[in-house]
Amino acid sequence: MLLLLLAACDTTPEPVETEVEGCVPFESAYTANAAPIIQAKCGSCHGSSPEFGAPHSLVEGYEDLLSGEVGERKVDAMLASLLDGSMPQGEGELSHNELDTLVGWASCGLEHPPEDEGLFANRDIWEAPDSPPEGSVGVDLLAVDESVGLDAIDDYRTFRFKSVVEESGYIHRIEPVIDESRVLHHITLTRKGGFPYLYAWAPGTGAIQFPDGGIAVEPGDAFDVEIHYNNGAGIPDAVDNSGVRLWVGESADIVYGMASPNLWNMVIPAGEGKAFSTTCTATQDFEILAGMPHMHEIGSTFKHDLVRADGSVENLIELSGWSFESQYFYEMPIQVQAGDKLEMTCGYFNDTDETVTAGLATSDEMCFDFLVVTPASAESQCQ
Ligand code: HEC
């Protein structure tokens, strides 16, 4: 992951290898999903009479995109240009979901666009060992034979799990369970109601694991798994059993909690870029291990600093090129003392036609840093 982030600095796109040569994308999904996006986002140059130096038309229909030798079809060139980021040119950017839909269609669901495009973070992603700690058992929170139809485009579904354990214990590790990857866009795990975030997955994300301990889970604790489906490929009869696996043990040497510094007063008028800050003062000593910044679709930059009582500033994390699809926990180990201030700033650029304010919907905005802290009592800090 770190390599990917560093590679993002290099502006020349690397050629992308695909294993999907020769797949025959679905005609029904072309009409329903792909054609409208191609028309809107590629048609200005690749129209019936190509303009501005574009070598060919992409709007002559399904047969035209698929005719010719495998590897030399227009659809093959299209997929390659989308995966390496060389297309589209000009003003008409694709939203991540449009990109996922086109790539999904052209690759029969076998490829996903890169998630980290443009993301810069000054911290490493928090990585887990390959296998769960001994003595813990897997508890699956999965969709069960969830039918993901042809109309599942940008489709969020929430699955609630009540009472996932019979006795008090500790979650030591959280890992993704991926089933029908062709229609899966991303997965999040929160406690009931959407907070705090405990885990987020997108293609390429690994597990997280709490060192020598975990977060407490009680019988009766409920969790929400939200799965974002996108059947851009138009896979008929897609059925999914994805979700997350919690590795739960009876004891923990170190008990962690999840603190959630947040702010809710953002108002971002259409067409404007704005940043909002909040500061809170720690009322106890605690340690931060890792944190997951969280904004929604028009988030762009994120910064979290620790201002010591003597006025000196230590940075916890700084991000730019935020995208809703690339949410990770980052390593940010630091000891906080009572009296220190946590100063968090979220920056947005509103490229929609409407004013955006705080709220729960994906089209509303948020500003959170979900922090893994110890002792667990520190989870009440900065609420
Ligand atoms: C603003 C104009 C413009 C837009 C919009 C545009 N293209 Fe292009 N496209 C070009 C030009 C110019 C070239 C030829 C030069 C080049 O390859 O960079 C090209 C080349 C291509 C090629 C051929 C690459 C090759 O190696 O043969 C493909 C495939 C392609 N575009 C796909 C797309 C797709 C898919 C979209 C929409 C998502 C799109 N383009 C949007 C201007 C555009």
C-alpha span between 60 and 64 (Å, rounded): 6
DSSP string, 49-112: S--TT--S-S-S-HHHHH-SSTTTSHHHHHHHHHHTT--S-SS-PPPHHHHHHHHHHHTTT---
pLDDT of residue 253: 96
Is the CB of residue 354 less than 8 Å from the CB of residue 149?
no
pLDDT of residue 336: 97
Query: Going by DSSP bridges, is the β-strand pair 213-217/254-259 parallel, antiparallel, or unpaired?
Result: parallel
How far does the centroid of ligand 1 lie from the alpha carbon of residue 199, in Å? 37
How far does the centroid of ligand 1 lie from the alpha carbon of residue 54, in Å? 6
Q: Give the pLDDT band of residue 114 (cuts 50, 70, 90).
A: confident
How far does the centroid of ligand 1 lie from the alpha carbon of residue 128, in Å? 40
pLDDT of residue 3: 38
pLDDT of residue 10: 37
In the block, tokens 């006025």 appear at 311
147/361: higher pLDDT: 147
Considering the chain, what is the average pLDDT of its residues? 90
Mean of the pLDDT values across residues 25-41? 94
pLDDT of residue 19: 56
Write b or e for each residue in 94-108: b if 16 or more Cβ atoms lie within 10 A of its Cβ, otherwise e: bebbbbbbbbbbbbb
What kind of fold does domain 137-256 have according to CATH?
Answer: Jelly Rolls (2.60.120)
Do 137-256 and 257-380 come out as alike in CATH topology?
yes
Per-residue pLDDT of 319-367, as tens digits, reads: 999 988 888 999 999 999 999 999 999 999 998 899 999 998 888 999 9
Structure tokens at 116: 């980290």
Per-residue pLDDT of 68-89, as tens digits, reads: 999 999 999 999 999 988 888 8
- In single-letter form, the type of residue at position 278 comes to T
C-alpha span between 255 and 264 (Å, rounded): 29
pLDDT of residue 4: 38
Residue ranges around ligand 1 (CB below 6 Å)? 41-42, 44-46, 52-55, 58, 77-78, 81-82, 87-90, 92, 94
Which of 78, 87, 98 has most ligand 1 atoms within 8 Å of its beta carbon, as the pocket-test mutant? 87
pLDDT of residue 310: 93
pLDDT of residue 7: 35
DSSP code of residue 93: P
Which of 12, 18, 37, 42 has most ligand 1 atoms within 8 Å of its beta carbon, as the pocket-test mutant? 42
pLDDT at 226 over 60: yes
Q: How many CB atoms lie within 10 A of CB 341?
A: 17
pLDDT of residue 316: 97
pLDDT of residue 342: 97
Domain map of the chain by residue range? Answer: 2-114, 137-256, 257-380
91/124: higher pLDDT: 124
pLDDT of residue 326: 82
CATH class of 257-380: mainly beta
